[in-house]
Amino acid sequence: MELIQSVRECQLWRRQITGSVGLVPTMGALHDGHLSLIRAAVRACNHTVVSIYVNPTQFGPREDLSAYPRTLERDLSALRNLQVSAVFLPEDREIYPDDYSTFVSEGELSLRLEGQSRPGHFRGVTTIVSKLFNIFRPDYAYFGRKDAQQLRVIRKMTKDLNYDITIVDCPTVRDINGLALSSRNQYLTKNEQLRAAVIFRALSEGKELFEKGERNAGILRKVIEARILTEPLAKIDYISIADDVSLTEFEGEITADALISLAVFFGPTRLIDNLNLPLKI
Ligand code: AMP
């Protein structure tokens, strides 16, 4: 497994390998969710590249950039067991030198949901992902459904900018109580982690009701909200029931495949999760 820190070395590495390349972008503090993406890449591709980079441009000024968990030694030992070909570990100045001035932004999907709560977040995401796409020229790139809007924004960017890359989405990995694994779960105490399982219970209740035939988005939102508010530690940022493709909010009847997504604070920790509501015709 090669550890690479400079863009130049990545490009040289890329030139001398043959066969398919799968890219898994991460911010490190790897957990089983990340590892499931990496395993999928290793199964399908001749070479898997994992990037570990806490990308400052996707954090807002009052967000957790400096506190974000960094567990490099542990991450590398997890990766050594997985037949990863290369790990890219750049420093900030390698990605954003002092004179850096080019950004990539998607102008529709990015503005909704997370884009409302975290202005500029997706501009940072699309910029770093397009840089990684250019640096590694992968055939496949792997993203988690856990970050449902990110996945859609990246698919749109890939299409709009004509990247010849297949975006592969992987299911959300959860703990035994249903809490979606996230590097940010490390901010929670064990007790808070147990209590945060209310998020998945609420999403599941919404989905069950939908499967029983409830099509009113307002009613589903209320049910999800009521369940989350049973947990005194939780503070709701948003609960969305939106068109699965355009991410426009359903106000009344759900008339197309939908996505329930939400962001909930547990203390200062902001957690996101989602479930699909496919309309079976
Ligand atoms: P991050 O390190 O949080 O930027 O995540 C890197 C990649 O792992 C993204 O594509 C995430 O969607 C994905 N990911 C994060 N958590 C999970 C999870 N619990 N299950 C599946 N994929 C995940």
Question: H or E stretch including 50?
Answer: strand 47-52
- Determine contact, residues 257/276, Cβ cutoff 8 Å: yes
Strands 47-52 and 86-88: parallel
In a domain, 176, yes or no: no
Percent of the chain surpassing pLDDT 70: 100
Q: What is the mean pLDDT of residues 234-249?
A: 98
Number of other CB atoms surrounding residue 132 within 10 Å: 24
Region 114-134: what's the mean pLDDT? 98
Q: Which of 137, 170, 203 is the last residue of a domain?
A: 170
Q: Quick one: 13 and 128 in the same domain?
A: yes
Query: How many structural domains is the chain composed of?
Result: 2
Residue 88's domain spans which residues?
2-170
Say whether both 157 and 260 belong to one domain: no
Ligand 1: nearest atom to the Cα of 183: 3
Q: The tokens 């197309």 sit on which residue?
A: 256
Question: How far apart, in whole angstroms, are the C-alpha atoms of residue 27 and residue 23?
Answer: 13
CA distance 141 to 87: 14
Residue 280: its pLDDT value, please?
Answer: 80
pLDDT for position 119: 97
Select from 70, 140, 146, 177 the residue to mutate for testing ligand 1; criterion: most ligand atoms less than 8 Å from CB.
146
In a domain, 68, yes or no: yes
Q: What CATH code is carried by the domain that includes residue 113?
A: 3.40.50.620
Q: Determine the distance separating the centroid of ligand 1 and the alpha carbon of 181, expressed in angstroms.
A: 8
Answer yes or no: do 162 and 203 share one domain.
no
pLDDT reading at 281 higher than 90: no
Show which residues are catalytic: 34
Residue 33 Cβ < 6 Å to ligand 1: yes
- Cβ of 26 closer than 6 Å to ligand 1, yes or no, is yes
Question: In 137-255, which residue ranges form alpha helices assigned H by DSSP?
Answer: 148-160, 190-196, 198-211, 217-228
